[in-house]
Amino acid sequence: MCVARKVPVNLGERSYTITIGYEILEECTAELGTFPLEKEVFLLSDREVHKYYGSSLETLIADQGFKVRTYLMPPGEEAKSWEQAGEILEKMLEGNLGRKAPVLALGGGVVGDIAGFVAALYRRGVPFIQIPTTLLAQVDSSVGGKVAVNHPLGKNMLGTFYQPLAVWADLRTLDTLPDNEWRAGLAEVVKYGIIWDEAFFEFLENHTLEILRRDPSVLPEMIERCCQIKAEVVGRDEKDEGLRNILNFGHTLGHALESATHYKEYRHGEAVAIGMYGAMELAYALGMIEKDVVTRVKDILELWELPIRFPAKFLETVIQNLIYDKKVSDKKVLFILPTAIGKVEMVRDIPQDIIRRVVQENLIL
């Protein structure tokens, strides 16, 4: 059995460890008793994920002497809603869970984000643990404590910062992930190369096929590197006051597209892929990068069959939705734009007609 990798997230008293490896859940659940917790957990998952991993996890937790109360939500982005959060909170109240009874999030980013959100609200906050089961959740959403639900007007509009007690990323769970979900996760993987680490971007370029095949010879290293970068950025700017904004590369247009399509047409990672390509073209239009840099990013996105364009019918709503982005200040939209692979800058004040023109000329199917 391979040894689990550990990535620390250094946030003072809110510090925690990300454990990454194959078949690690037995070892991780054995840690439960080391935390100051009540002997009862609220396990939140979606119906799809629970089918595969729910009962084995419930057994492992019970083996540690914990009572398990399970709540299953429907799978999919539409369930990341205020109404769904209300239903989960009702169940927690009915169960009269105590202040030290943790919420365990078994699933992708949707389950993780809403689990953290209800954990932060219930009795003014109970501990929670992330057990991510999608690539996207293992490299991004389970780390850093951004927890939220969506609103029709904007993505993740209702939320807070609430760090987990631990993150347990069992790579074995990725075996059952459908291909389109795998590719959506790869969009956030590429993001780290573009914003932070050219050598990592080259590693991705050099291993595109092994990565598509989910080859165990590359996955642990790839996922660990993403977590290291995210932990580094979050450790320096937990509350998104400056540096952390770079993790939002591709999300300005991506989130606008997700809300324009009512969270039904695109997986988050797919919308981010379109948004990243849009940001590359915008940087090129503003003279910040050469065309070959745009092409490098476009090539890897296309090779992994990620979308880079969307239908014209959504264009106007996407442009209008930009104003609901959380990075907007003084009514000015902020874009994270590259100056090279591995380096980005924050750019405000791009005239709307330039944004519209770049999107229209490059991003429309």
Ligand X SMILES: NC(=O)c1ccc[n+]([C@@H]2O[C@H](COP(=O)([O-])OP(=O)(O)OC[C@H]3O[C@@H](n4cnc5c(N)ncnc54)[C@H](O)[C@@H]3O)[C@@H](O)[C@H]2O)c1
Report the binding-site residues for Zn(2+): 188, 251, 268
Using CA atoms of 229, 231, 235, 240 in order, give the dihedral in degrees to the nearest 10: 80
Nearest approach, Cβ of residue 51 and ligand X (Å): 8
Cα 98-102-103 angle, rounded to 5 deg: 115
**CB-count burial class (<10 Å; 0-12, 13-18, 19+) for 231:** buried
Pairing verdict, β 334-340 and 343-348: antiparallel
Helix axes 251-260 and 268-285, enclosed angle (nearest 10): 130
Alpha helices in 95-217 (DSSP H): 109-121, 135-136, 179-196, 198-206, 208-212
Nearest approach, Cβ of residue 140 and ligand LNCXM5UN (Å): 5
Nearest approach, Cβ of residue 109 and ligand LNCXM5UN (Å): 8
Longest dimension (CA), the chain: 61
156 binds ligand LNCXM5UN (CB under 6 A): yes
Q: Which residues are annotated as a binding site?
A: 109-113, 133-134, 146, 155, 173-176, 188, 251, 268
Q: Is the separation of the CB atoms in 268 and 77 below 8 Å?
A: yes
112 to 131, contacts with ligand X by CB under 6 A?
Answer: 113
- Both tokens of 292, joined, read 């070959």
220 to 249, contacts with ligand X by CB under 6 A?
Answer: none
Alpha helices in 207-344 (DSSP H): 208-212, 219-236, 251-260, 268-285, 291-303, 315-321
Task: Rank residues 121 and 184 by Cβ distance to ligand LNCXM5UN and give the closer one.
Answer: 184
321 binds ligand X (CB under 6 A): no
Task: Rank residues 270 and 281 by Cβ distance to ligand X and give the closer one.
Answer: 270
Taking the CA atoms of the chain, what radius of gyration do you get in angstroms? 20
140 to 159, contacts with ligand X by CB under 6 A?
Answer: 140-141, 144, 146, 156
Out of 177, 189, 257, 260, point to the residue binding ligand X (CB under 6 A): 177
Q: Which does 326 bind (CB under 5 to 8 A by kind): ligand X, ligand LNCXM5UN, none?
A: ligand LNCXM5UN
Q: Which does 251 bind (CB under 5 to 8 A by kind): ligand X, ligand LNCXM5UN, none?
A: ligand LNCXM5UN
Using CA atoms of 172, 178, 184, 190 in order, give the dihedral in degrees to the nearest 10: 40
Out of 84, 248, 259, 362, point to the residue binding ligand LNCXM5UN (CB under 6 A): 248
Residue 328, SS3? Answer: coil
278 to 307, contacts with ligand X by CB under 6 A?
Answer: none
Nearest approach, Cβ of residue 316 and ligand X (Å): 23
270 binds ligand LNCXM5UN (CB under 6 A): no
Task: Rank residues 298 and 326 by Cβ distance to ligand LNCXM5UN and give the closer one.
Answer: 326
Q: Which does 319 bind (CB under 5 to 8 A by kind): ligand X, ligand LNCXM5UN, none?
A: none
Nearest approach, Cβ of residue 318 and ligand LNCXM5UN (Å): 15
Residue with tokens 């205020």: 82
Binding segment toward ligand X, per CB under 6 A, in 15-23, 33-41, 107-115, 212-220: 107-115
Q: Which does 176 bind (CB under 5 to 8 A by kind): ligand LNCXM5UN, ligand X, none?
A: ligand X
Side chain identity at residue 122, one-letter code: Y
Residue with tokens 């969307």: 310
Stated as kind and residue range, the H or E segment containing 361 is helix 352-362
Alpha helices in 30-175 (DSSP H): 47-63, 82-94, 109-121, 135-136
Q: Enumerate the β-bridge partners of residue 336.
A: 346
Task: Rank residues 285 and 319 by Cβ distance to ligand LNCXM5UN and give the closer one.
Answer: 319
Minimal CB distance residue for ligand LNCXM5UN: 156
38 to 97, contacts with ligand X by CB under 6 A?
Answer: 46, 48-49, 52, 75-77, 80
Residues that bind ligand LNCXM5UN (CB under 6 A): 140, 144, 146, 155-156, 188, 240, 244, 247-248, 251, 326
